[in-house]
Structure 1
Amino acid sequence: MSAAPGIAACLWYDGRAADAARFYAATFPDSRITAVRRSPVDYPAGKADDVLTVEFTIRGMAFVALNGGPGHPHSDAASFQIFTEDQAETDRIWAALIADGGAEVACSWCRDRWGVSWQIVPRQLTDALADPDPAAAARAMQAMMGMVKIDIAAIEAARNGG
């Protein structure tokens, strides 16, 4: 990587690494593609001069998208949490991720069209779950457990006993 961060999450794609990186850079604020690397030789998943890797950041976190070929799908065992500031940001990111073949899961989780798992977490949810009043935190947790995409107003209402 150009400005070697010391660590980066590497995501495996079957020929769609550049598409995925462009999508992420356009979807998340403070995100960008930092480098596109082409293969110098033919390799099992492609030919010389094909895009091999795309380096990008999402909100300052380094990623590498690798065109590694078929046979290694993403799973829910690894996911990325995106913390949002309000319902509008939560809704916008959620809609972008589930569009074109993505899927809603549960409790703030969804998958994008490439199968990468995301948690879209409003800061109000983390605040509610950390409420010093155990009953308020429990009510917020119970409300969240019944949701797919997080509804901040419903979380706040539950937290406040409503």
Structure 2
Amino acid sequence: MPKTITPCLWFDGNAEEAARFYASLLPDSHVDAVLRAPSDYPSGKAGDVLTVDVTLLGRPFLGLNGGPMFKFTEAVSFQIPVETQAEVERLSDALSSVPEAEQCGWVKDRFGLSWQIVPRQLTALLGDPDPARARRVFAAMMEMKRIDIAAIEQAALGG
């Protein structure tokens, strides 16, 4: 078995729902296993979902139903690279459950997890060897909730 780091995401009883939702949105994604409690335990009963192994964009994750003690924060987010404006809109529409939290391509989902919907064009333009172009793109991005690919390309051109 190859060695890898598997991020563990702490949920409050809805790890399976979250895993199935995320897997439905992203290519090369699927729920791999659901582990149920073999007996009652302090915060649950036999048969409750304890963990969910899920692959998202080809990477393994573990969803843990740990209870209400810990919540997600913006200190951890997952970046999804996209190619088209249609992908920006589809993923933002599906994942964003807190529209007022949208900023610079970041969205927060109904489980409290933050995601960054990042067009590959944005990354390329922010790394442009011409510092003036990169600054214009950065300034345009900072004014956006969802990334508008046409607008950042126009900013790169000086418009």
1:29 aligns with 2:24: no
* Aligned positions, number: 158
Runs of 4+ residues deviating >2 angstroms: 3-6, 101-105
Q: Report the AA paired with residue 70 of structure 1.
A: P
Question: Kindly, what percent of the aligned residue pairs are identical?
Answer: 56
- Where does the alignment leave 5 or more consecutive residues of structure 2 unmatched? none
Partners of 1:34 and 1:133 lie apart in 2 by: 45
Distance 1:5 1:61 in 2: 12
Larger deviation: 69-78 or 3-12? 3-12
- Per the TM alignment, residue 89 of structure 1 is displaced from its structure 2 partner at its CA by 0.8
How far the C-alpha of 1:92 sits from its partner, in A, is 0.4
Superimposed CA distance per residue, residues 2-45 of structure 1 (whole angstroms, 9 cap, x where no aligned partner)? x6652111111111011000000001111111111111222233
When normalised by structure 2's length, the TM-score is 0.95
Write the deviation string for residues 41-97 of structure 1: whole angstroms up to 9, x where unpaired. 222331111110011011111111111111211000111100001111111011000
Provide structure 1 residue ranges, at least 5 long, that are not aligned to the other structure. none
CA distance in structure 1 between the aligned counterparts of 2:151 and 2:42, rounded to whole angstroms: 50
Alignment partner, residue 90 of structure 1: 88
Aligned-pair Cα RMSD in Å: 1.3
| Counterpart for residue 13 of structure 1 | 11
| SS at structure 2 position matched to 1:54 | strand
The one-letter amino acid of 1:89's match is E
2:123 and 2:107 map into 1 onto residues whose CA distance is 18
TM-score (norm 1): 0.93
